[in-house]
Structure 1
Amino acid sequence: MRDILDIKLLSQSFEASPDADLKLDNGKLIAEMYSRLENCISVLSDMRSRRSYIYYGAIAQQIGLSTEQAEIGSIWEDELLNRVNAEDLQKKYRLELQFFQLLNSIGPAERTNYQAITKLRIRNVEGKYMLIKHRLLYIGSSDDGSIRFALCLYNMIYDHPEYEVPQSVIINTSSGKTIDYNHNSFTDMLSAREKEVLRLIKHGRRSKEIADKLSLSINTVNRHRQNIFQKLNVTNAMEACKVAETTGLL
């Protein structure tokens, strides 16, 4: 799952921008502000340079992490992620892939309206699991629309019966609407016919065979293929099937 995310995130074009350094500096300020205001761990990842900048709030001490600001040569904060329950980690990656697919279907100006939230079990200094709320926000794009800056926030979940955190959900903070992948909301990304075509592609059928099977013209099948590739933000059939499987579309 993470390998697919790497491909999707890091293979973007990232057109150069004259104010690229300013955007990075602004992103760092935002990340540091969150860590101080919420006592959370804040991770700013720059997809273009493949580097991350980590700011540690008080929660880091409970997990057993250093509280010194860090810069790492990766978009993944593995010192922290290695402490996450394996099942929760895969759930996180799956939601993040779906989140990336969603944001690629809308304009850059709308992207900051969305957050992906996951409840995670993370081992603390005593080796016991504690509950953490993870939020993912994309806070900046390149001039060509590539998603460049991601902000991950790790907050403690308060011990109060009325303070609930969803297992995995995408929230539109401007409308208050949510998308819960556990309830198959993402299945609407492809039409019923496109899913039929993709299932046949998965089973190795060629366009002519699919056309005969579904009583369609080859041109119609090829149009469905292109629509599938565009909606899933992929370039070939193998990648389309892999993304569809991991996001629950097939």
Structure 2
Amino acid sequence: MKPANPYSDEILNQAFAGELDPKMSLEKYRHVAFIFSVLQNSLAILTDLKSRKNYIYHGAISEHIGIGKRMTSEISESIWEESILNCIHPDDLKSKHEMELQLFHYIKNKPPEERLNYYLVMKVRVREKNHFYIPLELKIFYASSADSIQLALYIYSFTSANHADQNTHGTIINSSNGETFSSVDFQIKNILSKREIEILKEIARGNASKEISEKLYISKNTVDRHRQNIIEKLRVKNSTEACHAATLMGII
């Protein structure tokens, strides 16, 4: 049974058009994952969202958790890597899914040439063989074509005691300049304007454009224009999907 993830459909059901930049191909990302597993003793999982395969590279951390042997690798013909997902604390698993979706939307609204600059780092509690939970650091990187996010790289590593309580809610990092965005900062400031959020809240309440225009003292055409901008910014098909995505991201 796959772990429940109500946020995954939006990522998995993309129209996977276009190809990855040859400079960062699937094979090169597989090598990057292997290097992380060796140099940091991490568990590195490279997910090919297009073919729905997982490439898994085990470091010492996998032996510690009891899900694999150090310096081994495997290919899973499934989008789900249950061995690690089943070990993550349920509350942190939910946060992981939410933050993945937020990262997905955040990167989609960046020019393709800038997307590799961003990654997510957060803390997750993972159950050891003795059934106690330990804090691990999780980093998530996405690789995309011009039209879709095609690869996801997950790096699970040990974290020091000094950092065990940090990044609980996740932080987006721009590796090109060191700029950081908390889960609250980036989702509101960089996706929708205050007026768009205001209108989206009204849409979520079931109000039509005419009702919204009367309530906010703006024209119906202005409301409709904001509706279209919201749909384009969130990369969804309609207002219903926009409300769903914005709710999951904590915008409304």
**TM-score normalized with structure 1 length:** 0.90
User: Structure 1 residue 134 and structure 2 residue 138: aligned?
Assistant: yes
User: Structure 1 residue 51 and structure 2 residue 68: aligned?
Assistant: no
Spell out, residue by residue over 1:196-241, the C-alpha distance to the aligned partner (whole angstroms, 9 max, x if none): 2111111111112212222222211111001111121211122111
1:145 CA drift (Å): 3.0
Q: Aligned letter for 1:39?
A: N
Task: Please say if residues 169 and 178 of structure 1, whose CA atoms lie closer than 8 Å, have aligned partners that are also in contact.
Answer: yes
1:206 aligned residue: 208
1:18 CA drift (Å): 9.6
Specify every segment of 5 or more residues in structure 1 that has no aligned partner in the other structure, as ranges: none
Distance 2:163 2:87 in 1: 27
When residues 164 and 209 of structure 1 are mapped into structure 2, their CA distance, relative to the original with a 3 A threshold, is closer
Runs of 4+ in 1 over 6 A off after TM superposition: none
Specify which of 72, 85, 109 is matched with residue 105 of structure 1: 109
Task: Please say if residues 210 and 220 of structure 2, whose CA atoms lie closer than 8 Å, have aligned partners that are also in contact.
Answer: yes
Spell out, residue by residue over 1:14-50, the C-alpha distance to the aligned partner (whole angstroms, 9 max, x if none): 2254988x92222211111111111000000111101
Specify which of 144, 153, 166 is matched with residue 155 of structure 2: 153
Specify which of 8, 11, 16 is matched with residue 9 of structure 1: 11
Q: Aligned letter for 1:62?
A: H
Task: Please say if residues 133 and 165 of structure 1, whose CA atoms lie closer than 8 Å, have aligned partners that are also in contact.
Answer: no
1:123 aligned residue: 127
SS of residue matched to 1:12: coil
When residues 123 and 222 of structure 1 are mapped into structure 2, their CA distance, relative to the original with a 3 A threshold, is same
Distance 2:107 2:135 in 1: 27
SS of residue matched to 1:2: coil
Task: Please say if residues 20 and 144 of structure 2, whose CA atoms lie closer than 8 Å, have aligned partners that are also in contact.
Answer: no
Aligned residues, how many? 244
Task: Please say if residues 123 and 165 of structure 2, whose CA atoms lie closer than 8 Å, have aligned partners that are also in contact.
Answer: no
SS of residue matched to 2:91: helix
Distance 1:226 1:69 in 2: 46
Specify every segment of 5 or more residues in structure 2 that has no aligned partner in the other structure, as ranges: none
